[in-house]
């Protein structure tokens, strides 16, 4: 008995979701087709019923992950905030927290996929760049909200790029050393967090770790 069109769509989504988790944990080159399909609950033979190649799957994973990351960011920004906090400092606190650092499977897609994207095909790179562009636009709005009146969009965008680059870099470095030297990993997160809060004149939140 054949698989219904709806079931085929669901199976495809399951493969993409399973692949994203494995790619984040092991890198795209570190995961074979057998492991990819096993993670989704299928046999390797069914892979080519859904994707023409592993590269095509990787492009879908990047697109899905970046879309979700942008949705999560907008949802987090829109969440109610305490009277003594601001949205930008809350985002910095969360991003550079120990909790987010340890959540490789569900954490920031940019930090999770950056190392692999440059080795992927053009389609995956386009999805990544488009998703990053959307994220920077959202963060630019957040910087504008925090900044003084009269700040122009170009200045706010430059600040958003610098802010996000610092956060992503700190997260990647912290994760890289967490297994061998967790104290250094925490130090990287905390130093970057404190510098950003200070440079952007943000009030420090209480959830630093």
Question: Using one digit for the tens of pLDDT, what is the confidence trace for 7-16?
Answer: 889 999 999 9
- Residue pair 57/19 in contact (Cβ under 8 Å)? The answer is yes
Q: Which CATH architecture has domain 1-51?
A: Orthogonal Bundle (1.10)
Q: Which two tokens stand for residue 191?
A: 């130093």
Question: What's the angle, vertex CA 177, arms to CA 158 and CA 67, rounded to 5?
Answer: 45
Q: What is the mean pLDDT of residues 34-61?
A: 91
Report the mean per-residue pLDDT for the chain. Answer: 90
Q: What is the CATH number of domain 54-199?
A: 1.10.357.10
d(CA 116, CA 152): 34
Asked whether residue 201 carries a pLDDT value surpassing 80, the answer given is no
Assign 54 a pLDDT band (cuts: 50, 70, 90).
very high
Among residues of the chain, what percentage have pLDDT more than 90? 76
Q: What is the reported pLDDT for 145?
A: 86
Same fold, 1-51 and 54-199: no
Long-range contacts of 115-122 (CB under 8 A, 24+ apart): 115/27, 115/172, 116/23, 116/27, 116/28, 116/29, 116/58, 117/62, 119/28, 119/29, 120/28, 120/55, 120/58, 120/59, 120/62, 121/55, 121/58, 121/59
For the chain, the structural domain boundaries read 1-51, 54-199
Question: Cβ-count burial of 65 within 10 angstroms (0-12 exposed, 13-18 middle, 19+ buried)?
Answer: buried
Question: Which of 103, 93, 106, 116 lies closest to 192, judged by CA?
Answer: 93
**Which tens digits make up the pLDDT trace of 142-198?**
999 886 566 789 999 999 999 999 999 999 999 999 999 999 999 999 999 999 999
Q: What is the reported pLDDT for 82?
A: 87
Q: What is the reported pLDDT for 209?
A: 37
Q: What is the reported pLDDT for 195?
A: 96
pTM across the whole model:
0.87
Asked whether residue 99 carries a pLDDT value surpassing 50, the answer given is yes
Assign 105 a pLDDT band (cuts: 50, 70, 90).
confident
Under DSSP, the state recorded for 118 is: T
Q: What is the mean pLDDT of residues 57-73?
A: 96
């Amino acid at each position: 008995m054949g698989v219904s069109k709806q079931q085929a769509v669901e199976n495809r989504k399951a493969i993409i979701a399973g692949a994203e988790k494995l790619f984040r944990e092991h890198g795209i080159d570190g995961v074979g087709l057998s492991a990819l399909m096993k993670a989704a609950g299928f046999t390797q033979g069914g892979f080519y019923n859904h994707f023409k190649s592993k590269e095509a799957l990787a492009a879908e994973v990047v697109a899905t992950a970046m879309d979700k990351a942008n949705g999560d960011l907008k949802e987090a920004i829109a969440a109610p905030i305490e009277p003594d906090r601001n949205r930008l400092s809350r985002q910095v606190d969360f991003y550079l927290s120990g909790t987010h650092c340890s959540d490789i499977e569900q954490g920031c897609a940019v930090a999770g996929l950056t190392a692999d994207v440059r080795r992927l095909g053009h389609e995956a790179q386009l999805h990544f760049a488009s998703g990053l562009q959307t994220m920077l636009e959202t963060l630019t709005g957040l910087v504008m909200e925090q900044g003084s009146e009269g700040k122009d969009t170009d200045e706010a965008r430059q600040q958003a790029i610098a802010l996000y680059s610092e956060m992503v870099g700190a997260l990647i470095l912290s994760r890289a050393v967490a297994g061998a030297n967790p104290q250094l990993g925490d130090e990287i997160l905390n130093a970057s967090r404190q510098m950003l809060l200070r440079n952007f004149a943000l009030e420090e939140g209480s959830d630093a770790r």
